[in-house]
Structure 1
Amino acid sequence: MMDVVFSRSACGSLKMAQHYGQGEYTGAVSVIVAAREGEERTAPAPEVQAARQAAEQRARREWEEARPLGGEPANVFSLEGGWSMGDIAESQFPQGRRRLLERLFAASFGGSEAEREQIISESLNELQANLQTVLTRSANGEELRIWYSAGPDDACGLCWLLAKLNELAHHGPVQLIKLPVWEYGEGETMMAYTGWGEIGPGEWGRYLPLAQTAKPALLQACAGRWKELQRENAPLRVCLNGGLQSMPENFYDSFILRELERLPEEFLEASLVGNVLGRYQLGVGDGWLALRIEAFCRQGLLEVVQDGPGIRRRLRQHSDWASL
């Protein structure tokens, strides 16, 4: 059986989940003490020791309670492509993905142009190779299990992949597992997830009972919807009321503006991006938010006080930006 996810972080966790919990626990943990911006802090030894012991107990419990999935890492594939953003015209694959990644990396990544180009090329080569392998093996009758969520990239990736499978003359069985939007945690807590990348390797096994068979009617419906989205070829695609809809590039701007009201006149761009990602769980990455913040700078809503790599710039709000 093949397993497919739509992010690299989820792919790494899923590969670990195949044998996580087998044998005696031999793990090790480390503790990082965070401080606020501009604050220097050395945590007292008892505090560090208590945090380490709590982390070790939690890691051991996760190992002992894990349900290993089995299988081989070579059968796990990531088809990460940022499918909710940018050009998705069939004739523009993978060039449309390259243009999108170049824009996202230029806005949010602090490395050199050569480093960006290397990462982009490696990502696209991996995407194309994984797609070809999945389609070939499925055409030969092998079973495929797709893990997806309600996030826009996962929803678009699922629709895109099912459309690809629908084009095959024959394909093997397809199983779908959707990540619950929320579930209960330990005690009286509740957990809300935006994607499989947030799931630890010891947790994947408990979602196996959620698997459902993807019937031909679903593949045909997804193929038709994806063709419509390709014809519209909007800058963004989002999930609304359970369906994918095309949207303009400023769709997420209101969330950024809302967080600007909470920040002082001068602030770090990373603080704004982090606040939006953490508070609203939109399922969109820091790259797209950085692109929109750059648009705000061009429009005069924001100005750069101190330049820096990626999103490490210091910005200042226009004194009356709400009237612009």
Structure 2
Amino acid sequence: MGTGEVAPEKLKVIYAANKNVQPLTAKLCYKLADEWEKLSETTEVLRIWEDGEIKNVPENYFDAFIVDKARYLHREQGKLEFMKSARLIGEVFGHLNQYTGDEFIEYRVRQLIFNGIFEIEGIPKAMRFYSVKLKEEFN
């Protein structure tokens, strides 16, 4: 999350609560820069925060979670019918304990379409223009 996504009133509270916090030490700055150098040399597409550190994971790491959320939404519908992809992406994004950005989640939904897990209706030029549903055998 960037500060552009935080309401000004909340930023004021955050600032007030942290105005006496000391800036990073030179030693910590060098440590963080070194960590970034190591991360920037990796080729993985997806990283998560786990156990207090950044870990590289395969790009399909969240696919099962996406499919589970689709099953949940289908149960909510009462039957297996198309749902706006934005609805599914929002459900995943809202319950994911990692910050990936909705663009990455949409990318994975499209990969799941390509891999035959989801059916598609509409044109996938943006998430609001197409709908998805799990294929019968995956529901």
TM-score (norm 2): 0.80
Q: 1:224 is paired with a residue of what secondary structure?
A: helix
Equivalence for 1:73? none
2:70–2:133 CA contact under 8 A, matched in 1? no
Q: CA deviation at 1:277?
A: 1.5
**In the aligned structure 2, how far is the partner of 1:203 from the partner of 1:263?**
32
Q: CA deviation at 1:307?
A: 2.6
Structure 2 unmatched ranges of 5 or more: 75-79
Equivalence for 1:234? 44
Q: How many residues align?
A: 129
TM-score (norm 1): 0.37
What is the Cα-based RMSD across aligned positions, in Å?
2.0
Equivalence for 2:77? none
**In the aligned structure 2, how far is the partner of 1:221 from the partner of 1:314?**
45
**In the aligned structure 2, how far is the partner of 1:247 from the partner of 1:216?**
30
Which structure's residues are more often helix, by fraction?
2
Q: 2:67 is paired with a residue of what secondary structure?
A: helix
Equivalence for 1:189? none
Partner of residue 246 from structure 1, selected from 49, 56, 60:
56
**In the aligned structure 1, how far is the partner of 2:123 from the partner of 2:12?**
46
Query: CA 1:230–1:308 in 2, change beyond 3 Å: closer, same or farther?
Result: closer
1:220 aligns with 2:30: yes
Query: CA 1:281–1:241 in 2, change beyond 3 Å: closer, same or farther?
Result: closer
Query: CA 1:316–1:203 in 2, change beyond 3 Å: closer, same or farther?
Result: closer
Equivalence for 1:203? 10
Q: CA deviation at 1:202?
A: 2.1
**In the aligned structure 2, how far is the partner of 1:308 from the partner of 1:239?**
30
**In the aligned structure 2, how far is the partner of 1:203 from the partner of 1:317?**
39
Equivalence for 2:68? 258
**In the aligned structure 1, how far is the partner of 2:109 from the partner of 2:61?**
13
Greater radius of gyration (CA)? 1
Q: CA deviation at 1:203?
A: 2.8
Partner of residue 296 from structure 1, selected from 107, 112, 115:
112
**Identical-pair percentage:** 21
Equivalence for 1:321? 138
Query: CA 1:305–1:207 in 2, change beyond 3 Å: closer, same or farther?
Result: closer
Partner of residue 305 from structure 1, selected from 115, 121, 125:
121
Query: CA 1:317–1:224 in 2, change beyond 3 Å: closer, same or farther?
Result: same
Equivalence for 1:284? 100
1:275 aligns with 2:82: no
Q: CA deviation at 1:261?
A: 1.1
Q: CA deviation at 1:263?
A: 2.4
Structure 1 unmatched ranges of 5 or more: 1-5, 12-196
Q: CA deviation at 1:281?
A: 4.8
